[in-house]
Amino acid sequence: MRLKVFRHRQGMSEPRYDTFEMEAAPGMTVLSALFKIQEEFDDSLAFRYSCRGAVCGSCAMLINKVPRLACRTQLMPLLAGEQEISLSGYPAIGGPVSWDPKEDVLVEPLPHLPVICDLVVDMTRFFAFYRDIDPVFSPLDPDPEKERLMDPSDVRELELYTNCILCGACFAACPVDAKNPRFSGPAALASLYRFCIDPREGRRIERLKTADTPDGWWGCEFHANCRQVCPRGVPPIVAIGQARQEIKKQRKEGEEM
Amino acid sequence: MNVDEPVIHTHDVLIIGGGLTGLRAALSVFYAGLDGAVLSKVHPLRSHSVAAQGGMNASLANVPGEGSVPDSWEMHAYDTVKGSDYLADQDAVALMCREASATVRELEHMGMVWSRLDSGRIAQRPFGGAGFPRTCYAADRTGHNALHTLYQQVIARQIPVYEEFFATSLIVADGRCTGCTAIEIMTGKMHGFSARATLLATGGFGRVYSRSTNALINTGDGQALAFVAGAPLKDMEFVQFHPTSLFGTNILITEGARGEGGMLLNREGERFMERYAPESLDLAPRDVVARAIETEIAEGRGFEGGYVHLDLRHLGADRIRERLPGIRQIAIDFAGVDPIEEPVPIQPGQHYAMGGIDVGLDGAASLPGLYAAGECACISVHGANRLGGNSLLETVVFGRLVADAIVRDLPQYTVPQGDDAERAVSREDRRIDDILKKRGGEKAFSVKKELKDIMFSRFGIFRNAGDMEAGLTAITRLQDRFRTVSLSNSERGVNQALVRYLELEGMLILAEVVARGALARKESRGSHTRADYPKRDDDRFLAHTIASMSERGIEISFRPVSLGMFSPKERAY
């Protein structure tokens, strides 16, 4: 098989693709293939990594045109066509690169973010949207002596969203983020929703309203790419849908009063 | 202005490391109205803390134990000291256990989502070596929830974080640590950080071993920085092997899986822990279970390739989905096994370093101005073997307490004067240039791979003098070979080969410290098991191993353990 890897660093006039031949052993991941390249063939290849167990969110990249974590994506199932995800397509993600899906695995940086070097992108804009939703718990009541009580079923619903590892895969898969640089994006909105449904939180309604804007809850076009690519099963699209329902309900109640 | 003029950043307190310890410490520095900053070689959320699964021990007593007595911090301390094979310093253990409940609640008050009981209180599960269901948890993502919560608190306060900066040296002037030099990985520029006090919170060194559950970034950078700067290391031979890492990738399968009722089975389907720990069975402490598994494999009762089974099937699909969702996903993604349907193949893997930078109860290292906390430090709460659920606890408790101590001590540390930082930056700049100019020689990768294999085979679960002597000789040969290692990439910016080279330089030093400590400790205690000295020897070795750098090389001495609450007894489970 061949790993076809996007290469770009400062000073290069335009990006190129390097192709590395290797044997795909069972269980071998894209991340371990990248390490093999870096250690044995070309030590200038750049990519982020840390946990290698799909929990830290460092290694999200575009693999066969789908944003995925390199550490949890194995080569052999990709080549066998077993891990196809059909995304609602758009130009930034479906750019004109030719590759043979039976022989090649195509590895590129996440789109919508500036490339620093090879597969390393500048995540500043992604994290700026996260900061903008003010992701800090703010209870109204003073801290009790012990823990605040929580119903286990509330925890289960919250966990859907606290599981987000901020890897940026959803942001990269979102066609709205591709065309609207102001759209908060799925990860930030899912994180915001987590505070809107935390029964301990003091500003739930206020928070819901902070994204009651064309670039917040209302920016989503329900392509559902976010939910498909999330490596942790987080469904931002569900959060956005429920937030909209809640806002409509609030407005209606406001009119009736 | 000269573009090459050194960039020097000045802060009251510099925290190196952005995991749970570093972020919690940053909050305390902020609360005290001081100017603190965090420096990390990765984005803080990519720190290894995020991977902690099982939980955090605290005697909340939300779940009743078997007897009628409720849990207490004293019983937590007793379990911790016994688990440590009596090598932990009991004053430090008491401090940690007393602060545990407040620490869990503090995280809850910051918005962390913990798993809950039907009563709404924080849920607790049984863990190895504990007399009570004492481990508070957030499903099997406790570290993730805790780290994201602390990160949110840090960004809300706009505490500066220098992301993707790799610290290359500590600045030492007039016998005092006044900050560090660090290379900005994305640009290759060397920066100076001038600080009145410096806290190392850089985590463990698991990646010195070939089979490790640790993140790839856990290369012991802080321990090496401190040691090279003249601060001794303590108890470095005590390396924990987690009994259950996934066969193949050695990704951690939490002890919580056994806490929920998971059983270890050998190739014959036998629940072999009945023979090794008749009382505690699968929930004996980690050193006991890891030795049992290794013995089963060595005696031919493991599976081809060297693993045994962790069987969760009897827990049922609902309980696995609710309590161990992350574990199930890991087993599916990385071993192609669904624990609901099949047993999980597991083998022991390096997991934790009980040893680290020698610090006192206040987290101060022997070098004035330098502090350390979390896994990179050895305040000695884990002794010769750490209990599951005590490391997350240690990170947050001592992140806070050591930062508080720094705040207290700070008036005695003046703002560093003079041009020490500038000179250190020039020196480190030249050093990096020299590394990048090296040509020929071998690749760093082959040296690193050999080092890891030597550490696992010679300084692993079972040790003896012959193997270790051979291992030490091999390590010193690798240190020689390392001098000829060169990189192909000679760029300054985004040169990960350079970062890996600098990490390896430190790993080779730490490996030698582990080796010398292990050879000097002629007994078996906790994780350190010697076939040639199979018994614990309290007369000679109820003492911490102190490794210091001298002109003659690495020297080992011993220092008595701080006892007081519990007298050493034979350890049976």
Cβ A56–B50 below 8 Å, yes or no? Answer: yes
Residue B506 belongs to some domain of the structure = yes
For residue B573, the tally of other CB atoms under 10 A from its CB is 18
- What's the confidence (pLDDT) of residue B103? 98
Nearest to B244 by CA among B338, B132, B330, B124: B330
Tens-digit pLDDT profile for residues B91-112: 999 999 999 999 999 999 999 9
Residue B227 belongs to some domain of the structure = no
Q: Does A203 touch chain B (CB under 8 A)?
A: no
Q: Does A54 touch chain B (CB under 8 A)?
A: yes
Nearest to A104 by CA among A246, A4, A6: A4
Cβ A53–B145 below 8 Å, yes or no? Answer: no
Cβ B46–A51 below 8 Å, yes or no? Answer: yes
Cβ A51–B252 below 8 Å, yes or no? Answer: no
> Looking at residue B482, which CATH number applies to its domain?
1.20.58.100
For residue B119, the tally of other CB atoms under 10 A from its CB is 12
Closest by Cβ to B109, choosing from A117, A143, A163:
A143
Closest by Cβ to A116, choosing from B104, B156, B494:
B494
Cβ B110–A117 below 8 Å, yes or no? Answer: no
Cβ A54–B330 below 8 Å, yes or no? Answer: yes
Q: Are B135 and B125 a contacting pair, CB within 8 Å?
A: yes
For residue A162, the tally of other CB atoms under 10 A from its CB is 23
- What's the confidence (pLDDT) of residue B83? 96
Residues 222-261 of B with CB under 8 A from A: 248-249, 251-252
Tens-digit pLDDT profile for residues B108-161: 999 999 999 999 999 999 999 999 999 999 999 999 999 999 999 999 999 999
Cβ A152–B117 below 8 Å, yes or no? Answer: yes
Residues 34-53 of A with CB under 8 A from B: 38-40, 42-44, 46-53
Smallest CA–CA distance, residue B506 to chain A, in Å, is 18
List of chain B residues with pLDDT < 70 = 1-4
Smallest CA–CA distance, residue B241 to chain A, in Å, is 18
> What is the ipTM score, two decimals?
0.97
Question: For residues B222 and B510, what is the distance between their CA atoms, to the nearest angstrom?
Answer: 11
Question: For residues A167 and A234, what is the distance between their CA atoms, to the nearest angstrom?
Answer: 12
Cβ B118–A38 below 8 Å, yes or no? Answer: no
Residue B544 belongs to some domain of the structure = yes
B-chain residues within 8 Å CB-CB of A146?
A: 105, 121
- What's the confidence (pLDDT) of residue A223? 95
The percent of chain B in helix, strand and coil, each rounded to the nearest 5, is 40, 20, 40
Is B271 marked active-site?
no
- Output the CA angle B25-B548-B500, nearest 5 degrees: 65
Encoded amino acid at B34, one letter: L
Domain that holds residue B312: 241-351
Please tell me the CATH code under which domain A2-120 is placed. Answer: 3.10.20.30
Residue finishing a domain among B351, B381, B397: B351
**CATH code 1.10.1060.10 region(s) in chain A:** 123-256
Residue B83 belongs to some domain of the structure = no
Cβ A149–B120 below 8 Å, yes or no? Answer: yes
- What's the confidence (pLDDT) of residue B68? 80
Cβ B489–A44 below 8 Å, yes or no? Answer: yes
Q: Does A28 touch chain B (CB under 8 A)?
A: no
SS3 annotation, B105-133: HHHHHCCCCCCECCCCCECEECCCCCCCC
Q: Does A17 touch chain B (CB under 8 A)?
A: no
Cβ B216–A136 below 8 Å, yes or no? Answer: no
Q: Which residue in B334, B447, B449 has the most chain A C-beta atoms within 10 A of its own C-beta, making it the best mutation to test that interface?
A: B334
Smallest CA–CA distance, residue B217 to chain A, in Å, is 6
> Looking at residue B258, which CATH number applies to its domain?
3.90.700.10
Q: Which residue in A48, A147, A159, A207 has the most chain B C-beta atoms within 10 A of its own C-beta, making it the best mutation to test that interface?
A: A147
Count of structural domains, chain B: 2
Q: Does A32 touch chain B (CB under 8 A)?
A: no
Residue finishing a domain among B332, B351, B370: B351
**CATH code 3.10.20.30 region(s) in chain A:** 2-120
- What's the confidence (pLDDT) of residue A10? 86
Smallest CA–CA distance, residue B187 to chain A, in Å, is 10
- What's the confidence (pLDDT) of residue A88? 82
Q: Which residues of B534-557 are buried (b: 16+ CB within 10 A; e: fewer)?
A: eebebeebbebbbbbbeeeebebe
Q: Are B424 and B177 a contacting pair, CB within 8 Å?
A: no
- The structure tokens listed for B363 are 């987290």
- What's the confidence (pLDDT) of residue B561? 98
Residue B283 belongs to some domain of the structure = yes
Cβ B119–A149 below 8 Å, yes or no? Answer: yes
Residues 449-478 of B with CB under 8 A from A: none
Cβ A56–B51 below 8 Å, yes or no? Answer: yes
**CATH class of the domain at A123-256:** mainly alpha
CA distances to A176, B76, B132, B277 from B79, rounded to whole Å, are: 54, 5, 9, 16
Residues 118-177 of A with CB under 8 A from B: 118, 120, 123, 131, 134-137, 139, 143, 146-152, 155-156, 158-159, 162-163, 165-166
Is the C-alpha dihedral spanning B81, B82, B88, B89 positive or negative?
Answer: positive
List the catalytic residue out of B134, B176, B258, B286.
Answer: B286
Residues 66-105 of A with CB under 8 A from B: 72
Nearest to B198 by CA among B359, B88, B7, B428: B359
Residue B104 belongs to some domain of the structure = no
Question: Are B435 and B523 members of one domain?
Answer: yes
Question: For residues A32 and A47, what is the distance between their CA atoms, to the nearest angstrom?
Answer: 11
Closest by Cβ to A51, choosing from B48, B109, B152:
B48
- What's the confidence (pLDDT) of residue A257? 64
Residue B255 belongs to some domain of the structure = yes
Nearest to B55 by CA among B148, B146, B120, B118: B146
- What's the confidence (pLDDT) of residue B2? 46
- What's the confidence (pLDDT) of residue B1? 39
Q: Does A114 touch chain B (CB under 8 A)?
A: no
Smallest CA–CA distance, residue B572 to chain A, in Å, is 35
CA distances to B244, B255, B310, B383, B558 from B252, rounded to whole Å, are: 7, 9, 12, 22, 33
Residue B305 belongs to some domain of the structure = yes
Nearest to B502 by CA among B420, B424, B431: B431
Question: For residues A123 and B477, what is the distance between their CA atoms, to the nearest angstrom?
Answer: 42
B-chain residues within 8 Å CB-CB of A43?
A: 443, 487-489, 496-497
Smallest CA–CA distance, residue B9 to chain A, in Å, is 21
A-chain residues within 8 Å CB-CB of B51?
A: 51, 53, 55-56
Q: Are B80 and B379 a contacting pair, CB within 8 Å?
A: no
For residue B347, the tally of other CB atoms under 10 A from its CB is 24
Question: For residues B198 and B190, what is the distance between their CA atoms, to the nearest angstrom?
Answer: 18
Q: Tens digit of pLDDT per residue, chain A (257 long)?
A: 999 999 999 889 899 999 999 998 888 999 999 999 999 999 999 999 999 999 999 999 999 999 999 999 999 999 999 888 888 877 767 677 889 999 999 999 999 999 999 999 999 999 999 999 999 999 999 999 999 999 999 999 999 999 999 999 999 999 999 999 999 999 999 999 999 999 999 999 999 999 999 999 999 999 999 999 999 999 999 999 999 999 999 999 887 76
